[in-house]
Chains A and B, each alone.
Chain A
Amino acid sequence: MADFIVRALVAGLMLALVAGPLGCFIVWRRMAYFGDTLAHSALLGLALGLLLDINMQLAVIVVCCTLALGLVLMEKNKSLATDTLLGILAHSSLALGLVMLSFTNVQIDLMAYLFGDLLTVSTAELIWIAAGSCSALTILVLFWNRLLAISLHQELAQVEGLDVTRLRLLLMLIMALVVAVSMKIVGVLLITSLMIIPPATARRFATSPEQMALGASIAGCVAVAGGITASWFLDTPTGPSIVVVSALLFIFSNLVRRTA
Chain B
Amino acid sequence: MFLGKCGQGGLHKGCYDIPHIDVVGRDPASPLKQLLTLNTPSIFRPVTNPDVLLDLQSISYGFGTRQILTNISVQIKRGQIVTLIGPNGAGKTTLIKIAMRLLQAHAGQVILNPNLRIGYMPQRLHVDATMPISVTRFLLLAPHAQRQNITAALAEVGASDLHNSRLQELSGGEMQRVLLARALLQNPQLLVLDEPTQGVDLKGQAELYRLITQIRDRHRCGVLMVSHDLHLVMSATDEVICLNQHVCCHGHPEQVSNDPAYLELFGKTGAAAMAVYTHHHNHSHDLTGAVINEQHPESREQHNNG
Contact = CB atoms under 8 A, between A and B. Distances in A.
Interface string A193-235: 0000001100100111101100000000000000000000000
A209 B130 contact: no
Interface in B101-147: 102, 118, 120, 122, 125, 127-128, 130-134, 137-138, 141-143
Nearest to B127: A152
Interface stretch (A13-21, A56-64, A115-123, A157-165): A157-165
A127 interface: no
B210 interface: no
A159 B130 contact: no
Contacts of A28: 128, 130-131
Nearest to A203: B130
A159 B120 contact: yes
A200 B132 CA distance: 11
Contacts, number: 58
Interface string B132-164: 111001100111000000000000000000000
Contacts of A161: 143
B125 A152 contact: yes
Interface residues of A, number: 25
B128 A30 contact: yes
B143 A159 contact: no
B182 interface: yes
Nearest to A207: B132
B130 A160 contact: no
A83 interface: no
Contact of A153 (B100, B125, B137): B125
Contacts of A207: 132, 134
Bin the interface of chain B by size: 20 to 34
Interface string A111-145: 00000000000000000000000000000000001
B186 interface: yes
Contact of B122 (A153, A208, A211): A153
Contacts of A27: 128, 130
Nearest to B140: A145
A226 B141 CA distance: 36
Interface string A148-179: 11011101101111000000000000000000
Given A155-B97, A156-B122, A158-B102, A209 B137 contact: yes
Nearest to B136: A208
A212 B127 contact: no
Chain B contact residues: over half helix, strand or loop, or mixed? loop
A159 B132 contact: no
B130 A200 contact: yes
A163 B133 CA distance: 23
B137 A149 contact: no
A149 B137 CA distance: 11
Contact of A211 (B132, B141, B142, B192): B132
Contacts of A208: 132-134, 137
A155 B102 contact: yes
A212 B132 contact: yes
A122 B138 CA distance: 43
A203 B100 CA distance: 34
Given A28-B128, A206-B132, A160 B122 contact: no
B5 to A, nearest CB: 35
A208 B131 CA distance: 8
A109 B141 CA distance: 47
Given A155-B97, A156-B120, A156-B182, A148 B141 contact: yes
Contacts of A155: 97, 100, 102, 120, 122
Nearest to B138: A152
Interface of A: 27-30, 145, 148-149, 151-153, 155-156, 158-161, 199-200, 203, 206-209, 211-212
23 contacts: A27-B128, A28-B128, A28-B130, A28-B131, A29-B128, A30-B128, A145-B141, A152-B138, A153-B122, A153-B125, A155-B97, A158-B102, A159-B118, A160-B142, A160-B143, A200-B130, A203-B132, A207-B132, A207-B134, A208-B134, A209-B132, A209-B137, A211-B132
Interface of B: 97, 100, 102, 118, 120, 122, 125, 127-128, 130-134, 137-138, 141-143, 182, 186, 192
Given A152-B131, A158-B100, A209-B137, 19 more contacts: A28-B130, A152-B127, A152-B138, A152-B141, A153-B122, A153-B125, A155-B102, A155-B122, A156-B120, A156-B122, A158-B102, A159-B192, A160-B142, A160-B143, A200-B130, A208-B133, A208-B137, A209-B131, A209-B132
